[in-house]
Chains A and B, each alone.
Chain A
Amino acid sequence: MPAVGTNVPRKDSTEKVTGTARYVDDLVFPGMLHARTIRSTIPRGRIRDVRLSFDRAGFTIIDHRDVTGRNVVALIEDDQPLLAEREIRHVAEPILLLAHEDLDTLRRARVDIDYEPLEPLFDPTRSTQLLKDLRIVKGDVEQALAGAEVVVEGEYRTGHQEQLYIEPNGVIAVPENGGVTVHGSLQCPFYVHKALRIALGLPDDRIRVVQTETGGGFGGKEEYPSVIAAHAALLALKAKRPVKLIYDRLEDMLATTKRHPSIVRHRTGVTRDGRLVAMDIEVLMDGGAYVTLSPVVLSRGAIHAAGPYRCDHVRIEARAVGTNTPPNGAFRGFGAPQTQFAVEVQMERIAEALSMDPARLRELNALRPGDTTATGQRVEADCSALQVLQQAVERSDFHGKRERYAGTNRGIGLSLFFHGAGFTGSGEVKLASRAALCTTERGVRILVGSAEIGQGTRTMHAQIVADSLGIPYEDVETGLPDTSNVPDSGPTVASRTCMVVGGILQRCASDLRERIGDMHPREHFTKHGATVVTKEYEPPHGIAWDDDTYRGDAYATYAWACDVAEVEMDPDTYEIRPIHFTAVQDIGKAIHPVLVAGQIEGGTAQGIGYALIEEVVMREGAMANAQMTNYLVPTTLDTPTMDVVIVETPSHHGPFGAKGVGEMPIDGPAPAIVNAIRHLGLDIRQIPATPERIAEAACVSA
């Protein structure tokens, strides 16, 4: 019986429902010390003096002078120190590391730091520190705008968003084999491996990174674990004992990365009958104090900034700049939720300016197969923007409700969006990911560096391998990635784990099938011992990208979706309550429909939080509400009913036609909700749309 397309039991469900799955904080090593990070309390300045006001007996203490390799967090740029030397660029910057076997003694240790404060900068529009800029040009925008019958302008703003995985960041570093093994909650074991090699100055084979069961990531455990892993490893190597470093919620929220705030400006030229003739877009993202992943977040944001629309004249100018807040980084969607919020609210305002039905405006302009995107990529037969739009409109009774809700405290709005699967541009070629299969006494074992972070990596990969080999799903073994025995499959990010890594596994399976003939891999193992097949990523034919001009095929393919949000406003408190959501999402092929629905429902809930309640309050460069008491995420009572429709227009780029599914669901809810609020007569251009912002808009419109 085929496994693909069916709801086989998750590989990890028994452990997770019985409480036997082991997360990093559940692990105990003999002689283990606990660790703590001493952080800056000012946003910008210089360290004058560090005084340890405690009895040092039993403590291991590390500062920048103890870094045995290079004092950098090795990522895109080497600008971020693991431990501050003299200069402080943000609140909560790590300065000193302490370890002790007794947690209470550790917590009581007092460190006093004197600073020479400098004037911090928090406003990205005033920043002169350019982290990355890029330009996408198609046609001649100025000329097209000059000739446009109607021009609509607008500025849209989005705030920080905290990933809020329920398991905070944490690792345990264990000195062994002349090097160190780090066990941790993480998405990208090989990113951590590289960062450790550079921080510790140790050869590759002395460093081992093992993922522990991971209690959520959403991008928040993409690059940050490199920092915490290096900290724990430095302590462990100095103490010659295992060191556990687990953040509590407050520290995690205060110190770790968040979604980049954005300011996006649109100037759009249209004909009176609603055809887009020119889109002029400026994107500004606040990267915070260090570069981290800002260049690539900006890149994905810019490529998605014109939305899933056909337009001959497009100019997108995008910049990421530095400020004195903790660095921002990866979060599900990776720049695309910010820019698609802007373009979808802009589309709604264009419809309003033309007195046109918003669904009709999108229908006229939605990309069709054969059309080109802003980067000039010709979309293929799997482009289903129009179909998902029409299906969502029909299914939600958009037009009927739009009429019925008019003049009440209810509103309905929609958003049309897309999401490229895999690394941007030439990223996958540079990554050159590998995956492997190994025959075992049970059947076959999957060897990948891809992490299970809740999304179902193990299960989905096993389904692909089972069907590609023609063996039962139960005969496919999976495990936690351990860099000492799996190949580097690239990071678990960018909606690439199914389409890209799953695709490599499919090729491993067909190669293995050729080698073992008709035999079950188990039988082959019994007769001939273990056989290992390793394959590397092969770029699909006919895909071309130019990094210098930002022209060409930005992604192998895109997934397409339309969300319809229905909301109700409380006229006394100005709270907006989402009451129903329709999400029609074309992801090529649902390898496991229950897992896919889980991604769509979960991503939609996060998007609802982003739209309405998740507000990071920054005061003097520090998150003032770094607690779950006052940083609110949707609870059961804030999450509306959802009608999820999975559409399957297969892509020849992914295994069994599958594309990426993890990120797209968070791109659509915010604009759909804000457009539903617009239906109530309230002009909102900034999220989260808190009661305060709604009240303000209501005063203006009254």
Chain B
Amino acid sequence: MLRDDPVANVLYVDLSKKSFRVERREDIFRKYIGGAGVAIQLLHEECPRDCDALGPENPIVFAVGPMTALFPLASKTVAMFKSPHSRNLGESHCGGRSAVAIRMAGYGAILVKGASDTPLYLAVHGNRVYFRDASSVWGIDTVTVGRIIRENEPGAGLRTIMRIGKAGERLVPYSCVTTETYRHFGRLGLGAVFGSKKLKAVVISGKRSLPVVDMKQYRRLYDEIYQAVITTSAMKKYHELGTADNVLPLNEIGGLPTKNLKTAKFERASEISGEAFAEKYLGRRLACTHCPVGCIHIAALREPYEDESYFYKTSMFSYDYEPIYALGSMLGGSDTKGMLGLMHQIEKLGLDVMSSGVILAWATEAQERGLISEKETEGIRLNWGDYRTYIDAVKLLVEQPNEFFRALAHGVKHAASIYGGEDFALSFGGNEMPGYHTGPAAHIGVLIGARHSHLDNAGYSIDQKAILAKKQLGPEELAKALLSEERWRQILSSLVVCFFARGVYQPDIVSKALSVTGFDLAPEVLHRIGEEIHKEKYRFKIREGFSLDNLYLPKRIFETPSALGKLDEKFIREVIEHFKKAIFVER
């Protein structure tokens, strides 16, 4: 890396002492590039063993990479923390303006620890750091608080505003952090970690020049990458219908989890497809900073007020495949207006939409089976596709007026451990399931993925390839395929390249792009670093008590046939055994 590159500057913020300092950490950036690679090192350094995820000692790390602000789509910020949801490694990625804002403010990473006694928000404008009183915005929803901070802070067009809603404040362990109104650090509860620190928001802005090794070479390479990005088929797909494009193909093959995965085919899928949403609601498309793809799809929902005729409100919020799965097919609903209303409510509260949907789906089935009555639900009768009651339920889930809602607020596995129904509590590694019942690889991938995300290793994609090829991988091959994908993705998330651009950022291109920033890393070296970062993450997981032995698999996934037919538990356990053998062995 280059000596004068600010990417190696780490901003350390202590919310207890209201102090900050900047340290040059060329040591870790040189070795691990940035993003996930650097973040896991900072987590090892700063997160005490067995610490309380909601205690002041739990640090929050935000990290970007040397290619951020230099090349298109290097636009993700990696957040790492100990998760209050899985009580283990917490990692979440977010786009918006966050990554470029951090880089332009002059940092490669920002580490926040300690906790404030009273609500505050952090404002970082270049080398100036402010601790601002947030008492007046505590309790305000994620959309409104963004508007208020926007009016009070400089840096329009050059800033990110990360914030939490009521869910984070009330420490719901799967609450998210929202940036730029429409992007999220979702899954695993970064919002609750913010809430535990009384940290309502973080605003970051900056504007600076960055060094490169050779300007001519940089500009030539930029043009090459930019052209490659705008001509890929992925660009067209993600720009046109966005990720919601996946609803129909996944349903077609029988891999769309429906009604708490009682089935994997939704008879009314066409009503909740990407096409249907685009036709009825698509109001605007947006992009993250420095990304020409523009995959963010914003729905415009017009609703009449009931007390006055011709009086409407129009709300705009983002939709994607995952929210449509979690709140649509998973809840057996095709009333898109109702579904969008629920999506909007979840957005304002600042909950993770996937976890919320899976939890509501479990609760619906639990009530259907008589495991819980209306006494527990405060009179609510949950029914598949009835969004009015679901909206009431998510509000109560955040309010937590009784034991039942307190249990729901702690995740589906926790709720099932009290009320029963564990066989259909769809949680993997302590995280509620994503929207894929494509075959064994999807579930194994989430189970063994370091952050229990479908994006760790894209098992669903391995299943889909197997469907096309009409041939499935054997247990050892499958374990290796998942592992090698996850290892390479460590490099992408250390560069902080969006996974949508993985087709463009192949090892040789990455190596060339990095050379412009003064990193001399050949493709084979990159593979080795990816492997090492993955091991470092697993080292943290094991330190915090994670084990690949006896991983819990909900029975439901074996009862409902997947796109690749009925799943075999023995096969899945075999794959995990092979993974266990391979993970710490050198290639």
Chains A and B bind each other: no
Q: Which residues of A contact B (CB under 8 A)?
A: none
